[in-house]
Structures are given as C-alpha cells and as structure tokens.
A and B are shown apart, each in its own frame.
Chain A
Amino acid sequence: MGLTLETILFFVLAAFITVFSILTVVTTRIVRSATYLLFVLLATAGIYFMLGYTFLGSVQIMVYAGGIVVLYVFSILLTSGEGDKAEKLKRSKFLAGLGASVAGGMIILFITLTHQFGPTSTPAPVEVSIKSIGYALMSGDKYGYILPFEAVSILLLACIIGGLLIARKR
C-alpha cells in the first residue's frame, strides 16, 4: 500500500470517522451529538465515493445528511428544554457498558485481522454507471431487484401513514 493520494485521502477519512463517531457518543449536549453525526455521515459518503459507488454516496448525502439529520435537529429542538445535559449514570453501569463495547470491539478487530478472506483483489475503483444501476433495479430476472424495490415503496407508504397517525394531535 504505497503512499498515493488515495491512501492519504483514505487515512484522513478514517481518522475523521473515528474521532467524530466517538465524539458523537461521548458528548453531553445532544445538539452537538447530532452535528457530529452529520460529519460522520458525510465522511461515510466520502468513503463510498472513494470506492467508486458514486450513486450510493449521493444517496447517502441526500437521505442521511439532508433528511435524517434535519429531522433529528428539529425533534431535538422540539423536545429538549434549556440546558438539557446527559443524565449521570451509575458508575457500575457505565463501566459495564464501556467494558462490553471495548471487549466486543477487540474480538471483532482480532477476527478481522486474523481471518484470511477469499481472493481479495484490489481493483481500481471503476465507477458503476447509472444505466446498469437502473437496469438492475428495475428488472425482474436473476440479478434484478424489482421485488425489494416495490417492498421498500410499500414500506415507505406505510411509514408515511404511520408517522401521520402517531404524531397527529388528538
């Protein structure tokens, strides 16, 4: 892995994701937490762009950074009062949560670093064309995704109706 421009870009993105995802869960103010989540999602979109999945990266920016984070910020501002800090937790529970996540992370990292994956090629990140994505998304043959596409559309319709029913004034 030579020190090319892509390597440097990847390490910058990796450091960005690591720092901000940890800051997201340790900060006490929840608005800051949502802002750090926005940075993590944008860096994830950068990783998709690096891998050549331009469409996936733009969907990530549009849906996550454009939709979900705005929704979070609105609901945080609606529901949290002035100076709403994170509640103090009992020390034993805090240590249990920290220990469980660190132990799980160590196990996963150990397995990831020792497992021999299959024939890993390091292909040049060719960009997946929009045409092939569209044909695959809309075709019903072996590598087509028409059925999950329709299922997701029905799920989104159910989500709209459910959100309206739950959040309306009675």
Chain B
Amino acid sequence: MEYYLIVSAIMFFAGIYGFFVRRNTLAILISIELILNATDINFAVFNRFLFPNGLEGHFFALFSIAISAAETAVAIAIMINIYRNIRSIQVRNLNEMKW
C-alpha cells in the first residue's frame, strides 16, 4: 500500500512544483489536474486497502473526477475570454481584473 502512496505523493508534489514555477495559466491548470489526480489515487487506494468492504473512496474519487471536469471547463472558458481581451495568457500580463 505504501508504494501506491509514494507514487501519488510524487505526482502531487510535481503538481505543486508546476503550480509554483510555471507562468502560463494553462500550465498552472495542468498542474492542478495533476494534484487532483493524485488525491483521486489516494481515495481509491485507501478504500481498497483499509476498508475493502465499503465503497466510500470509490464514490469520492468518482465525484471528484466530475467536479474537476466542471472546474476545468469553466477555467478554460475564462482563459479564452482573457485571451480574447488582452491577447495573452501569461500571468505577467494579467494585472487588472477589469478593462
């Protein structure tokens, strides 16, 4: 079981690193996907190895996938709107909320 947790921890902190270092908003979103995916692995692994009779972690992972899909769709709509307005999606150029 610890091996699964090590894999998901590495994935999680790769996501954290990308979230800190990248300066493109889409790259930051990709890092967020990595983080969410690592937590989904943890839910499934804890359910399988600690509570093999229940299904709670399975359904938590299922709803987490649905919510992250919704979040990604709205975030990409926002990115496209920002690109239409200021012709760039780098974080450096995003210094005002209203124009």
**Residues of A with Cβ closer than 8 Å to B?**
10, 14, 17-18, 21-22, 24-25, 30, 33-34, 37, 40-41, 44, 47-48, 51-53, 56, 59-60, 63-64, 67-68, 71-72, 75-76, 78-80, 84, 86-87, 89, 93-94, 96-98, 100-102, 104-105, 108-109, 112-113, 117-123, 125, 128, 132-133, 136-137, 143, 145, 148, 152, 155-156, 159, 162-163, 166-167
Known: A78-B80, A120-B49, A155-B67. A33 touches B30 (CB 8 A): yes
Rounded to whole angstroms, the CA-CA distance of A50 and B55 in the bound complex is 16
**Residues of B with Cβ closer than 8 Å to A?**
1-7, 9-18, 20-24, 26-27, 29-31, 33-34, 37, 40-41, 44-45, 48-50, 52, 54-55, 58-59, 61-63, 65-70, 72-74, 76-81, 83, 89-90, 92
Q: Which residues of A contact B34 (CB under 8 A)?
A: 21, 24-25, 37, 40
Contact between chains at A105 and B10 (CB < 8 Å): yes
